[in-house]
Structure 1
Amino acid sequence: MSKTSYYTPEGLKKLRDELRQLKDVERSKASQAIAEARDKGDLSENAEYDAAKEAQGMLEMKIAKLEAILAGARVIDESQLDTSKVLVLSKVRIKNDTNGMEMTYTLVADGEADLASGKISVNSPIGKGLLGKSVGDIAEVQVPNGTMKFHILEITR
């Protein structure tokens, strides 16, 4: 049974493109590497062949994982989402209680997370702490060095 995860249309397209690349291009490269290694002689003492077979196995595992993710992937209609509380795809402006710094994050699925562009996973400690909160709430987030408190200042889409 696959786990449901929610994506933006762009995030889902990116996953599908990656899967297509792995299946159409990388698979044939792996097969070609195995064929070339096999042509070099005795397979029992051929490290290149073993490495090519292992690489092929890793590729197939990655393809299977992506297929499982895509099977449970759902696109979110942002226009139907409630902005009174933090949900997936919410853009949240928060203030760190400790240092007074303000930050804005968009909560996304694991595969779309990119801290440099302000996208954090809903499964990250901060993402989990923010989910379900409303403007004015304080989110207490467990991090390795203790608990951080964030004031929810604004929620938008």
Structure 2
Amino acid sequence: MQIDLGENPLALERQVCFALSVASRSVIGLYRPLLKPYGLTHPQYLVLLALWDREPRSVKALCELLCAEPATLSPLLKRLEALGYVSRRRDRSDERSLSVELTEAGRALRTEAEKIPYRIVERLGMEVRELEELHTMLGKVIEATRRAPTPGE
């Protein structure tokens, strides 16, 4: 199969990486003022979303779900614990495994957080259907990157 990228394959405005980078920073920027009253960063919010879906979760499971490294996730969890939203403890059946669960404050925060997706959709001014289609396409991009050979292979 022949791939045709046109006359200028290096044009910045044609780069998928550039569009994804700018879109990511821009969308995350919309979350900042909504999360600030709760003392949360966007990555911390993602951890809470995972825990609101199901808890407790091991740090390992959270890393896999959020596609994050333990060294990245550990400081987020410490901060969430300091804020009183989560607790961490060693799994009794496996002392090597650290279990994370919501506190009562973390569970109560869910009610407030349920407003956030609606406010993001309003701020974006896009149809829910468009955002669902975008989400589907991004899921395909994520899956394709997981299957793609790494450079040098």
Which bin holds the TM-score, normalised by the shorter protein?
under 0.3
Work out which of the two has the higher radius of gyration on C-alpha atoms and give 1 or 2: 1
In proportion to residue count, which structure has more helix? Answer: 2
TM-score, normalised to structure 2, is 0.26
Give TM-score scaled by structure 1 length: 0.26
* Higher RCO structure (Cα 8 Å, ≥6 apart): 1
Higher strand share: 1
